[in-house]
């Protein structure tokens, strides 16, 4: 038997990709999960495997889900029906009309089962005719439906790569030193996605240096309908990620911190860098407006990150208020130690950063320090180093979460 469940959609993400003002549903939306997999992802996989042309539309459909009240009403036979036909699971994310590009099913109710079948987007080509049926135990299905009565009781979805359409207008290569990254952009440069190395004719290459890194940007031989400087900014963001100066992105290029960038970073970099990047922006930045994740999701990501990784890159705060800055204005390459400062009158979870002589340099961001409390209570202190000093507001650290330490020495 298949399993049905629901989760609250990440509305911060949805709002960044879908114009909620044109959607029929204004309330919090709900993601559908079948066998613990997001249904939209199952649909995406099906479309990619079938390689459907979809009557001139993109490679897979741009669907948006509904709210909990809609699903509670439509997915159960409240009036004892044996079958319900053309029940829409998703609407068009572009216009909000399910009759435009909605995905519907027929639902059959038996004594022991509930069956989802006859998937349809009502086009002549019947793209979903081979999409599988799902059979649910009736009692377990009813429990899932009942969970929709109160959306606040639903678990928050931690799936961040939904509601995204493939883009195929302009292909771009960004090269940082010897590492190459490939992208495909939409017509106006507002959206992009990572791609494998394409076979394309290049229009030209622009070269420059940023933070001592050699950068090259090459574009496909096609008319550009957006300014080339958008690509320069993306290349600089990728360089900052490459150097692990994550916080600087929120200060210099906050407009580029969006789902498109997250999706690309997830593809192009390893999990350690991807998670570190999210933690530093979502918890380390002072810019509240750019943040994408709800609190419960970023807490989950941060807990997993600090539990499973041996190092993390972050930034120092408060150095400019420290008189020590006049004695040692440039602290690059300094050995550092992180400790819990439990008697800090402003923050009981304060993590102070000192040098090898126990001289105070500053602090970690107070939104990050609580995640280190367990480690610091067990290990007493953590060792690290200053990896980059740009100015008093931008000092970047590398901290070792797993290392046997000797004591601080004078």
> How many domains, the chain?
3
Task: Give the pLDDT score at 125.
Answer: 63
Residues 227, 235: contact at Cβ < 8 Å? no
Integer angstrom CA distances of residue 124 from 60, 129, 386: 16, 11, 62
* pLDDT value at residue 388: 93
**Residues 11, 114 within the same domain:** yes
Residue 95 pLDDT: 64
Are residues 12 and 149 both part of a single domain?
yes
CB 181 within 8 A of CB 197: no
The CA distance from 170 to 204, in Å, is: 13
Do 20 and 148 belong together in one domain?
A: yes
> What is the per-residue pLDDT for 296?
77
Between CA 176 and CA 184, with CA 180 as vertex, the angle to 5 degrees is 115
Of 175, 172, 182, the C-alpha closest to 210 is 175
The answer to whether residues 386 and 247 belong to one domain is no
Domain match, 278 and 177 both: yes
Residue 159 lies in a domain: no
- Does one domain contain both 298 and 321? no
How many residues does the structure list for the chain? 410
**What gap in Å lies between CA 47 and CA 53, rounded to an integer?**
9
Residue 163 lies in a domain: no
Could you tell me the CATH number of the domain that includes residue 351?
3.30.70.2330
pLDDT computed for residue 49 by the predictor: 65
Q: Which two tokens stand for residue 246?
A: 């994550």
**Predicted pLDDT at 93:** 65
First CA to last CA across the chain, in angstroms? 66
Are 399 and 305 in contact by the 8 Å Cβ rule? The answer is no
Vertex 77, ends 73 and 78: CA angle to 5°? 65
Domain presence at residue 162: no
**Is the domain of 331 the same as that of 361?**
yes
The whole-number pLDDT of residue 62 equals 62
Domain span at residue 303 reads: 170-308
Same domain? For 122 and 34 the reply is yes
3-state secondary structure labels for all residues of 57-116 = CCCCCCEECCEHHHHHHHCCCCCCCCEEEEEEEEEECCCCCHHHHCEEEEEEECCCEEEE
Instruction: Give the whole-angstrom CA distance, residue 321 versus residue 317.
Output: 9
Beta-strand pair 63-64/37-38? unpaired
Query: Pick from 128, 153, 178: which residue ends a domain?
Result: 153
Place of tokens 């994740």: 293
**Distance from C-alpha of 386 to C-alpha of 399, rounded to nearest angstrom:** 9
Q: How far apart are CA 294 and CA 279, in angstroms?
A: 12
Same domain, 194 and 317: no
Residues 242 and 291 occupy one common structural domain: yes
pTM of the model: 0.68
Tokens of 156: 């928050």
pLDDT tens across the length of the chain (410 residues): 999 999 988 766 555 555 455 444 456 789 899 999 889 878 876 776 665 443 333 323 467 788 899 999 999 999 999 999 999 998 876 666 666 778 899 999 999 999 999 998 866 567 788 899 999 999 999 999 999 998 888 887 766 544 344 456 889 999 999 999 999 888 888 778 888 888 888 888 999 999 999 999 999 998 888 999 999 999 999 999 999 999 999 999 999 998 788 878 988 999 899 999 999 999 998 888 888 777 877 888 899 999 999 999 999 999 887 766 556 666 778 899 999 999 999 999 999 999 998 999 999 999 999 999 999 999 899 999 999 999 888 999 999 997 644 444 43
Predicted pLDDT at 295: 80
Same domain, 283 and 347: no
Outline where DSSP puts E strands in 177-269.
Answer: 179-185, 192-194, 202-210, 213-220
Distance of alpha carbon 84 from alpha carbon 395, whole angstroms: 61
Q: State whether 244 and 318 are in the same domain.
A: no
């Amino acid at each position: 038997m298949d399993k049905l469940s629901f989760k609250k959609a990440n509305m911060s993400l949805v709002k960044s990709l879908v114009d909620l003002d044109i959607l029929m549903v204004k309330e919090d939306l709900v993601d559908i999960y079948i066998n613990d997999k997001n249904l939209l992802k199952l649909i995406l996989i099906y479309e990619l495997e079938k390689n459907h042309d979809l009557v001139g539309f993109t490679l897979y459909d741009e669907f948006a889900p509904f709210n909990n009240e809609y699903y509670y009403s439509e997915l159960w036979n409240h009036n004892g029906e044996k079958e319900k036909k053309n029940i829409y699971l998703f609407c068009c994310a572009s216009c909000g009309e399910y009759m435009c590009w909605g995905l519907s099913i027929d639902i059959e109710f038996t004594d022991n089962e509930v069956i989802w079948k006859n998937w349809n987007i009502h086009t002549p080509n019947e793209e979903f005719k081979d999409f599988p049926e799902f059979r649910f135990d009736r009692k377990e299905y009813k429990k899932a439906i009942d969970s929709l009565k109160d959306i606040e009781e639903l678990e928050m979805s931690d799936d961040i790569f939904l509601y995204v359409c493939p883009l195929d207008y302009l292909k771009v290569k960004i090269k940082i030193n010897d590492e190459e990254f490939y992208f495909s952009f939409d017509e106006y440069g507002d959206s992009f996605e990572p791609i494998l190395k394409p076979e394309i004719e290049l229009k030209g290459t622009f070269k420059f240096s940023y933070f001592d890194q050699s950068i090259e940007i090459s574009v496909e031989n096609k008319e550009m309908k957006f300014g080339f400087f958008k690509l320069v900014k993306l290349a600089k963001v990728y360089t900052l990620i490459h150097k692990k100066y994550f916080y600087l992105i929120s200060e210099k290029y906050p407009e580029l911190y969006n789902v498109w960038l997250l999706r690309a970073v997830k593809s192009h970099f390893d999990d350690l860098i991807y998670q570190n990047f999210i933690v530093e922006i979502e918890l380390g930045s002072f810019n509240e407006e750019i943040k994408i994740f709800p609190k419960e999701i970023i807490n989950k990501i941060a807990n997993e990150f600090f539990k499973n990784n041996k190092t993390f890159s972050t930034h120092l705060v408060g150095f400019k208020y420290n008189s020590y800055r006049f004695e040692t204005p440039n602290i690059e390459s300094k050995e550092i130690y992180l400790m819990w400062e439990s008697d800090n009158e402003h923050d009981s979870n304060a993590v102070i950063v000192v040098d090898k002589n126990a001289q105070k340099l500053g602090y970690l961001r107070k939104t990050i320090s609580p995640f280190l409390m367990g480690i610091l209570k067990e290990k007493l202190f953590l060792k690290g180093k200053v990896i980059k000093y740009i100015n008093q507001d931008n000092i970047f650290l590398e901290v070792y979460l797993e290392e046997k330490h000797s004591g601080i020495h004078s």
